Chains A and B, each alone.
Chain A
Amino acid sequence: GQNIDQPTEMTATEGAIVQINCTYQTSGFNGLFWYQQHAGEAPTFLSYNVLDGLEEKGRFSSFLSRSKGYSYLLLKELQMKDSASYLCAVRDLNNQGGKLIFGQGTELSVKP
């Protein structure tokens, strides 16, 4: 079957570092996406991993381990505007030819 797990909520302090984890179980893994979604707005694309390792993009980094079915999103130098929901999504080739399966999202609150 297909399953994606991520924590429901996290709280962190402005200026700190936070790591949001995502574990998945799919039979035809073909890539993992992270999206950011502010309240009442559409998800916006943050990162994509298909090979093992770390992808860095400014203050945001995403890591993937395919053998462990595990990814994390690392946010550095947290800012108040980083308060949002972070969605992990996996592309599964055995799911209707590669449609995305989304986790429920992690609600991150950044406090001063």
Chain B
Amino acid sequence: DVKVTQSSRYLVKRTGEKVFLECVQDMDHENMFWYRQDPGLGLRLIYFSYDVKMKEKGDIPEGYSVSREKKERFSLILESASTNQTSMYLCASSLLENTQYFGPGTRLTVL
């Protein structure tokens, strides 16, 4: 079974804090993705990565950065959290262009 894990299920941060969201997959997948999910807006792609050290901007990269130092781990970084970044963050991985498998999600609240 594919397993994608995320470091926290719930997180509360203050405006201006630096936030790290970690994602780990155990299936040796090349591709990893970070999405945010908001009511009425669906899933929106923030960043993705095809391989170690590689990253590509998705549809809404502003205010975010990512890091992929190891194949199994993909981190999302909010350099200076803002209230409009309160959301559910979902990580996914896939073998090449096949089915994406999602982690359990991190519900981030920025106060």
Contact = CB atoms under 8 A, between A and B. Distances in A.
A95 to B, nearest CB: 9
B48 interface: yes
B99 interface: yes
Interface of A: 30, 33, 35, 40-45, 48, 87, 89, 91, 96, 98-100, 102-105
Nearest to A100: B100
Contacts, number: 43
A43 B90 contact: yes
Interface residues on chain B, size class: 20 to 34
B74 interface: no
Interface in B30-81: 40-45, 48, 56, 58
B99 A48 contact: yes
Question: Which of A43, A45, A103 is the most central at the interface, judged by chain B CB atoms within 10 Å of its CB?
Answer: A43
B105 to A, nearest CB: 5
A78 B36 CA distance: 30
A107 to B, nearest CB: 10
A44 B56 CA distance: 24
A36 B110 CA distance: 27
Given A42-B103, A42-B105, A99 B48 contact: yes
A-B pairs with lowest CB-CB distance, top 7: A42-B102, A104-B42, A102-B43, A102-B42, A43-B102, A42-B104, A98-B97
A92 to B, nearest CB: 11
A91 B90 CA distance: 18
Q: Which of B40, B100, B104 has the most CB of A within 10 A?
A: B100
Contact of B41 (A33, A100, A104): A104
Contact of B97 (A35, A89, A91, A102): A91
